[in-house]
Amino acid sequence: MENNGIKNSVEEDLKEVRKCKLDILILQRQNEELCQKNNAEITRLTTVIEDRLFQAEDDLKKSVVNELKTIKVKTEEFNTLWCKGIELLAIEKRKIETPAGSVTYKLMPDSWEYDLVKLFRWAKEDEGRKEKYIKIVEEFKKAVLKDDIAKGLLTYDDVVDEGLTIKKQEPKFNYKLDGGVL
């Protein structure tokens, strides 16, 4: 095929791509309109789920409160025992079971928040803590090596046996449609 024939073929391909992209945009717009009803129903159902789970958790909390009241907890001890009570009841696999399912509290590990600046300072105050809690990491400066080879300070042959492999990549195909079509 001569150059003019190739150019015509590429032009036909790009015209078909443009047509398909426009069709996709039209279908996406129609899809958005059709999905609005479904999205509204999904939002409503999600709210129902959240409300029902909130109510189920509230009922489970009431169950825990009633359990604590049966052991005659004093008011000033209540706040302290509230979390412990939930933990104890959860450990005992306390849950409310129904034919539709069950609700329970799952024990969760403590959340740890680290202020690394303060912790580094603390660890460095003592040689034993420094060795135990601080890790020094070595990092190879790839960008510096690449730059030195680009500048001619090193050659590929200088480092090929030391762990560097450079692989050529195929050019990446790209296209552009005129007329503002994506």
31 is in which domain, residue-wise? 3-104
Same-domain check for residues 129 and 62: no
Structure tokens at 157: 């042959």
| Beta-carbon-side half-sphere exposure of residue 168 (alpha carbons within 13 Å) | 2
Compute the average pLDDT of residues 146-165: 85
- pTM of this structure: 0.43
Q: Answer yes or no: is 45 within a domain.
A: yes
* Count of domains for the chain: 2
Q: Are 103 and 55 in contact (CB under 8 A)?
A: no
pLDDT in tens, 7-45: 788 888 888 999 999 999 999 998 888 888 888 899 999
Give the confidence band of 180 by pLDDT, cuts at 50, 70, 90.
low
Same-domain check for residues 13 and 99: yes
Same-domain check for residues 138 and 54: no
Structure tokens at 75: 């008011």
Structure tokens at 26: 């039209």
Torsion of the alpha carbons at 110, 116, 117 and 119, rounded to the nearest 10: 70
pLDDT in tens, 78-102: 555 555 555 555 455 466 777 888 8
Same-domain check for residues 50 and 128: no
